[in-house]
Amino acid sequence: MTPFTDALPGVTFENSLRFARRLDAEDALRDFRNRFHIPVVAGKEAIYFCGNSLGLQPKTVREAVEREMLHWEKLAVEGHFTGRQPWFTYHKQFKEPLGQLVGARPHETVVMNNLTTNLHLMLTSFYRPTPRRCKVLMEGGAFPSDQYAVESQVRLHGFSPETAVVEVQPRPGAYTLRTEDIVDQIEALGDELALVLFGGINYYTGQVYDLEAIARAAHRVGARVGFDLAHAIGNVPLRLHDWGADFAVWCSYKYLNSGPGGVAGAFVHEKHADSDLPRLAGWWGYQEKSRFQMQKGFKPMYGADGWQLANGPVLLLAAHRAALDVFAEAGMDALRRKSRLLTGYLEFILRTDPVLRQHVEIITPADPEWRGCQLSLRLPETGKAVFERLGQEGVIADWREPDVIRLAPVPLYNSFEDVYRCGEILAALVRTQTGK
Ligand SMILES: *Cc1c(COP(=O)(O)O)cnc(C)c1O
């Protein structure tokens, strides 16, 4: 078995500590691990495979936040307009790094609020149902917050979620969706379809969706299309502008390591930059030049900035900026290359260890093109017990009902040795649980 030789030509994986250490020695990104605080469990560095839920803290974040604390202390209100990075324009420095990550032009992104808040703001503008065209198509088993957001928006417009929300389900016996099934469903709904809302990566299965094909199909039937990139941003390459997505939203505390409840972001395609789309407005979305004239009558800024409601949370923005700097230094291409190898190595161990092969089912797509750095493992008999012991053994992963353990080896701070050791611990626990 020689998986993923595209990532490391001519090399066959081996399930050994020596081999894992060799991969670490050859890893050009290995030093980035030292830029992060790694949690300690029972006196030892944890194997942290939960970056898909909360990314680790970059060591530079504390200083960045303290710098703004000091500005507040010394400059108070003057901090809005003086200092190295005045708060009045603080949010503008994110256009470049976020544009890189999502494939957007500067005026197409904005950093603000939380993900679910941004989703509501975008749905308010882009879900404009009529009695004939009122349906929303989503992935079956979308993240609950997205389901609740859509359900409540549908009700706000006087429609019923039972009929207006349609979910694409996997075929019998499958866990993931086929692009052709998504496209077929879009075409079948045709002019009843108002909006397609999809994750970039499904949080449960780790499947990457073909956003380009989805956007094309949605537009072909005259629907709008938006993406939730919570699990995709900083994980897989994205090209929102070229794909023609109408909008997208994301959070910053998963792969972007910007801290719990960190400030989120949104994308609005250039084609809507100057539009008079209905929206919920606030003073920070008002044209900047005349904002402080405090006039009646809302005039939106050009582009995604026109959806801002309020002045930005500078302490959170400072953390976000420091985290994105680490990201930019590593570079998305190099991270993706390592990610494919790291996740491929985890998959190799799960598929070749005799006990794991028998008792663990990987429900994430096997093709590296259609997954990020997460593998979702189904352990029907032993799941919960194994998961609880994993934590005690220093592997920080997460559990999703009814029987799934999600493991996310993150290329910025996880090592091949982490992957090897995780496999070793997992195999021992499954062996104990199954009495093999
Ligand atoms: C993590 C996640 C969220 C979280 O929403 P918040 O508003 O940040 O609490 C929403 N949607 C998806 C798909 C997620 O993975």
Do 304 and 250 lie in one domain? The reply is: yes
Do 8 and 156 lie in one domain? The reply is: no
- The neighbour count for residue 40, using CB atoms within 10 Å, is 10
Compute φ and ψ for 79, nearest 5 degrees: -60, -20
Position in ligand 1 atom list of the atom nearest CA 143: 13
Do 258 and 364 lie in one domain? The reply is: no
Give the integer Cα–Cα distance in Å for 178 and 83.
52
Q: What is the mean pLDDT of the chain?
A: 95
Q: What range does the domain containing 153 cover?
A: 63-328
Report, as an integer, the average pLDDT of 291-312.
Answer: 92
Q: Is residue 210 a part of any domain in this protein?
A: yes
Do 282 and 342 lie in one domain? The reply is: no
Q: Is the pLDDT of residue 112 over 60?
A: yes
Give the integer Cα–Cα distance in Å for 32 and 28.
9
Q: DSSP secondary-structure letter at 56?
A: P
**CATH number, domain with residue 27:** 3.90.1150.10
Position in ligand 1 atom list of the atom nearest CA 117: 7
Q: Give the DSSP per-residue string, 152-199.
A: HHHHHTT--HHHHEEEE-PPTT-SS--HHHHHHHHHHHGGGEEEEEEE
Strand order in the sheet with 361-362: 361-362, 375-378, 404-407, 398-400
Q: DSSP secondary-structure letter at 83?
A: S
Do 322 and 337 lie in one domain? The reply is: no
Q: Is the pLDDT of residue 34 over 90?
A: yes
Give the integer Cα–Cα distance in Å for 41 and 389.
13
- Token match 């075409």: residue? 187
Q: What are the distances in angstroms from CA 130 to CA 136, 158, 192?
A: 12, 10, 9
What is the residue with the minimal CA distance to atom 6 of ligand 1?
115
Do 323 and 336 lie in one domain? The reply is: no
Burial class (CB in 10 A: 0-12, 13-18, 19+), 170: middle
Position in ligand 1 atom list of the atom nearest CA 231: 15
pLDDT class of 292 with cuts at 50, 70, 90: confident
Per the document, the length of the chain is 436
Q: Is the pLDDT of residue 72 over 80?
A: yes
Do 161 and 30 lie in one domain? The reply is: no
User: What is the residue type of 134?
Assistant: C
**Nearby residues of 139 by Cβ (< 8 Å), 6 or more positions away:** 167, 168, 177, 182, 198, 199, 202, 209
**Nearby residues of 71 by Cβ (< 8 Å), 6 or more positions away:** 79, 83, 87
Predicted structure pTM score: 0.96
Do 312 and 336 lie in one domain? The reply is: no
Q: Could you read off the pLDDT of 373-396 as tens digits, one per residue?
A: 999 999 988 889 999 999 999 999
**Tally of domains within the chain:** 2
Pocket-testing residue among 119, 251, 376, ligand 1, by greatest number of atoms within 8 A of Cβ: 251
Please tell me if the CB atom of residue 47 comes closer than 6 angstroms to any atom of ligand 1: no
Do 317 and 356 lie in one domain? The reply is: no
CA of 4 to the centre of ligand 1 (A): 31
Pocket-testing residue among 50, 114, 115, ligand 1, by greatest number of atoms within 8 A of Cβ: 115
